Structure 1
């Protein structure tokens, strides 16, 4: 039948026999889990430093690391003694227990926004669970005036302007939360970055009905998204790839 024919074709393309014995697929034995908790914690610390750049208590809590920040702190201190990590107050308001590497610290010191009123803000659109999004991990989510609260949820999207949270698109796309009073040009920049990110991620469709509890058409972000590639519907605005 058709199903058996597809299975036979798949085995032939994979290099296995079309007929015959079972178990002809290619297998690879995974290494046994490391039983030593010290080795495991050391590997976790290195992964977290690479993932977050500047590692804080909040970042560790967001990852639900076994043993929590207390256990990882001891390992990070050992890495500091060995010269593989550095501890300091690198980012304001994130506490004194921050760990990073020399390369990351040098890059932070070289990053400074130009004091030019003509400079356009830099927009960044990320999945809310992306380690590059500090909110909900190293930084607390800003307060909202609606009953909705942002969170590091699969499918949710954050929009940052110069690193500050400006927009949160909830999972499923029905509701948008905004933070701060932004001028219209900033909304246009953020909306353009949002549409570009949706296309890059090959998102099929998103429908937005409300912004901060109000109809999306009544908010400046709605007009910005329409100008960037969304289109109007009776229920709100919609994006389709």
Structure 2
């Protein structure tokens, strides 16, 4: 994001205007959402964390936080009579379970605490105060309407299949009457808006013109709400050579779209490329030309190893990628970020 400064987000967390909430990511990683504090109760109800199986140290820590309230790791260490490093590992477990969060960005920047911490290098994520997140409460009608408006803003078109993809803990039967009332009031339109989505579909009328006018090329994270393709999504994708292949909607995976339709899958931060349709040489070059945009994010280099499951070296796309600035490694093609 142009002009973004990390201290702005850190300041909103320190003042309590924002709060972050986690859930399990790959391995010991943490997936995070940032929420306005006033929205936290109903969003926790709409997306409740799954009941965790916490290790005993994390259970003890949870009980201590319930009793003491917001605390620093060193305070919890003294309260429980255990090393601070053990407290930090338990806090990370509570964060991954969606039960606790800190008032800063330090844990998110530092990543998981070491399983066997060294004596001379403390975990930098242990700074700041930690507190339990509020328990999910029942959703009232006002909160359900907030959820509907959030889903419409997130996906544009709302249907039973989109709700299933989103994972909100609210049945379609509870949203449908509200969506119908919004249609009667002229706020929404209903119809067969997107081919392939079954059942009733609702959208704002101003979105329809954008759907009809959608054109051009774009690259989109596979876990973006706008990406409705892949494993568990309404629209499956198929590999031309591997019937069992599925694109995971996970960080590091991307889709290249042409006129709103996926034509190229990018997996593992660019290590694997999968063509999803037959393309002319010009179309393939246009799709590949979007790959350098991935270097605008956290990645410092793209290392492409395979094309449609085969080594990229010697493949039909090698020359096109070299033309785009990729260099040849023994088993890959590499593009470095330019500073």
Q: TM-score range by the shorter chain?
A: 0.7 to 0.9
* 2:219 pairs with one of 122, 125, 146: 125
In 2, the alpha carbon distance for the partners of 1:180 and 1:84 equals 37
In 1, the alpha carbon distance for the partners of 2:139 and 2:328 equals 58
Is contact 1:184-1:220 (8 Å) kept?
A: no
* 2:294 pairs with one of 198, 201, 217: 198
* 1:182 pairs with one of 279, 290, 301: 279
Aligned twin of 1:33: 41
Give the CA RMSD over aligned residues. 2.5
1:51 Cα deviation after fit: 1.7
Is contact 1:155-1:172 (8 Å) kept?
A: yes
- Listed as ranges, the gaps of 5+ residues in structure 2 are 1-6, 19-36, 43-137
Higher relative contact order (CA 8 A, sep 6+): 1
Tell me the TM-score normalized by structure 1. Answer: 0.76
* 1:167 pairs with one of 264, 280, 284: 264
1:75 Cα deviation after fit: 2.4
Secondary structure, in 3 states, of the residue corresponding to 2:334?
A: strand
Aligned twin of 1:21: none
Secondary structure, in 3 states, of the residue corresponding to 1:66?
A: coil
In 1, the alpha carbon distance for the partners of 2:17 and 2:219 equals 38
Residue deviations 1:117-167 (CA, integer Å, cap 9, x gap): xxxxx2211111112223133422235422532121111111112222111
Tell me the TM-score normalized by structure 2. Answer: 0.56
Is contact 2:214-2:259 (8 Å) kept?
A: no
Secondary structure, in 3 states, of the residue corresponding to 2:256?
A: strand
Say if 2:175 is the partner of 1:81. no
Is contact 1:187-1:220 (8 Å) kept?
A: no
Aligned twin of 2:151: 48
* 1:98 pairs with one of 196, 201, 208: 201
- Listed as ranges, the gaps of 5+ residues in structure 1 are 1-9, 15-24, 114-121
Is contact 2:239-2:275 (8 Å) kept?
A: no
In 2, the alpha carbon distance for the partners of 1:76 and 1:143 equals 36
Residue deviations 1:65-121 (CA, integer Å, cap 9, x gap): 112433322322222222221111112222241110111123334x277xxxxxxxx
